[in-house]
Chains A and B, each alone.
Chain A
């Protein structure tokens, strides 16, 4: 076998539609209800943390926490009837904060290796597991090497489940630029995996 074979449940292949907060809870959170805001945090914490991890590396937890504090300060001004979805609005706040804080800082692959989950191993032989672990390491190293703007769109697409329009809104770039950044990122990641198999 020239390369590791990754086996995933088919349901894991597609980008999952992320959980959203119901409108009633959003409204309560806007009015300052602590429980509602706590629920909001629980619903969106993985997404915010994921983006912060992609951009801020080891500072991800602190950045995620600060993001939600900012969300709390501003949520009364969020317009549920406006053009932005809550998830996009929150991720925009996270994106700006993490970008500002992480500017110039390098995301270390060691941090990502510790923070990202293992790939599924069910049904794999010992050899395949070993190869898959190498694939993971190589992929994560490649993610760390991506330019920040590519790492961000990769996280928004693969981890946050945003479509191209929403990514464009968060990144404040044209949709075409989203496509090209994703394309370049995928190509770089694919090459990294290929090299792993040689």
Chain B
């Protein structure tokens, strides 16, 4: 034991010793809060990437103040499943698949010494990112985290509403140019006479406004932060604004559902009973109303997620949002085109923009059977929401199995994984999601929370799935 006399003027270390003894510790649960915030940001980024959908999806993460450009693998997209990314020298010609340096999944690409880099996939698409950009390669797409990129390649196309970037509140200084070569043979870009790919649209986002220009077309559309031009009253069809060509095919038809930002405010049922469909068959094709209802019902969890998110801001939120869209054939299935929000009738309340955005994203991802006759079907579909669903609708909890404080769930189905994630949030337990593997880790329980094992059994019951315990801390979830 050492005795310190803090009155010794000559011993500054003794003051240090007193201070060191006062070294604070982070409050319990800080790391959990941090990971929840990180995961929410990650989920929001994923979700925003899906909002616009398509072969090339653009979205702005409002909180993160960055623009995200993301490819997805789906029919019509230039990025096929399991795509390998390669890094090519910026001085080389248009790279061919199979050459260059192969990039491992998750690798961050930052240009060296101020020179831009070219990335290309083994299916013919390629992306050049500028000297100040940063991207992360993934086998299911490429994330542009900062800076600017030029995108082109087989089947690259511009879809959905570029203008939504401003509605989501972008504040970063990012410029992205989208290039397309629809109609080109696989692996071949469509160069302009001077050899450069033709730009379809140029979007510059800075300080909360976006300037959208189309080369060769006079004028530009300038939108401010939160601008509702494209989705408010008198709005034209959102997707039509962004479609550079009338006959531009629409990708994103594989039924990929957006990840909703999970709410922590309890699981509530939206007034889904109020949903009604009215199909207005166009001349070209027909689709039974029940089929449309069935598809939308299948996607209700996502719709619910949107509504629940909005409820966290306004717990009594209720009202109706009406959407117009076209179901158009694409390959073996049909997807959504020309999606727009119908302005509310006189005297009707306008639903929150965030909810509209979320629903736009959800509907744009829906996949329908091909209409009879091969044509398109125009649909007007109202979504009626009514608050008041009882929170905490989980069944009675079974007896806890033990005091495990960290559980890893191996979830053997992507949809199941999403469902389980949603339910875990509903139970207000902390979850950590690893996007690279299909598992959910439930961890860091505190005394006032539902024990992990209890929650998992309850969630499995709610989800009507099997939870098989292989050890006190390991459970496998199967359909």
Contact = CB atoms under 8 A, between A and B. Distances in A.
A183 B16 CA distance: 11
Given A3-B5, A8-B17, A77-B134, A117 B22 contact: yes
Nearest to B143: A32
Kindly name the residue among A49, A183, A190 whose own CB sees the greatest number of chain B CB atoms within 10 A.
A190
A103 to B, nearest CB: 21
B24 A49 contact: yes
Contact of B24 (A42, A116, A135): A116
A65 B145 CA distance: 21
B23 interface: yes
Contact of A45 (B9, B26, B434): B26
B31 A139 contact: no
A186 B4 contact: no
A9 B432 contact: no
A5 interface: yes
Contacts of A48: 26
A10 B41 CA distance: 44
A49 to B, nearest CB: 4
A15 B31 contact: no
A95 interface: no
B345 interface: no
B401 interface: no
A176 interface: no
A157 B106 contact: no
B22 A76 contact: no
Interface string B1-30: 111111101001111111111111111001
A190 B7 CA distance: 7
Interface stretch (A33-41, A82-90, A162-170): A33-41
Contact of A9 (B1, B5, B38): B1
B218 interface: no
A34 B35 contact: yes
A117 B34 contact: no
B110 interface: yes
B15 A189 contact: yes
Interface residues of A, number: 62
Interface string A41-54: 11001101110010
A34 to B, nearest CB: 5
B107 interface: yes
A42 B334 CA distance: 48
A78 B114 CA distance: 17
B18 A119 contact: yes
A88 to B, nearest CB: 18
B22 A190 contact: no
Interface in A104-131: 115-117, 119-120, 123
A26 interface: no
Contacts of A59: none
A61 B37 CA distance: 13
Contacts of A8: 1-2, 4, 17, 21
Contacts of A9: 1-2
Interface of B (DSSP majority class): mixed
Contact of B433 (A13, A34, A65): A34
Contacts of B41: 69, 72-73
Contacts of A30: 108
Q: Is the interface of A mostly helix, strand, loop or mixed?
A: helix
B213 interface: no
Contacts of B433: 34
Interface string A182-198: 01001001100110010
Contacts of B19: 139, 143, 154, 157-159, 189
A173 B27 CA distance: 30
B463 interface: no
B18 A139 contact: yes
B39 interface: yes
B64 interface: yes
A72 B110 CA distance: 17
A31 interface: yes
Contacts of B145: 76
Nearest to B21: A119
A193 B6 contact: yes
Nearest to B104: A31
A141 to B, nearest CB: 12
Given A7-B2, A77-B110, A159-B24, A64 B30 contact: yes
B412 interface: no
A50 B4 CA distance: 24
B134 A76 contact: yes
B337 to A, nearest CB: 34
B394 interface: no
Nearest to A11: B2
A38 B20 contact: no
A102 interface: no
A41 B107 CA distance: 21
B2 A45 contact: no
Contact of A186 (B12, B21, B23, B436): B12
Interface string B134-170: 1010000000010000000000000000000000000
7 contacts: A8-B2, A8-B4, A64-B30, A69-B34, A69-B37, A77-B108, A157-B19
6 smallest CB-CB distances across A and B, nearest first, come from A158-B19, A49-B26, A45-B26, A76-B108, A31-B106, A68-B34
Interface of A: 2-10, 12-16, 30-35, 37-38, 41-42, 45-46, 48-50, 53, 61, 64-66, 68-69, 72-73, 76-77, 115-117, 119-120, 123, 135-136, 139-140, 143, 154, 157-159, 183, 186, 189-190, 193-194, 197
Interface of B: 1-7, 9, 12-27, 30-31, 33-35, 37-39, 41, 64, 106-108, 110, 134, 136, 145, 432-436, 441
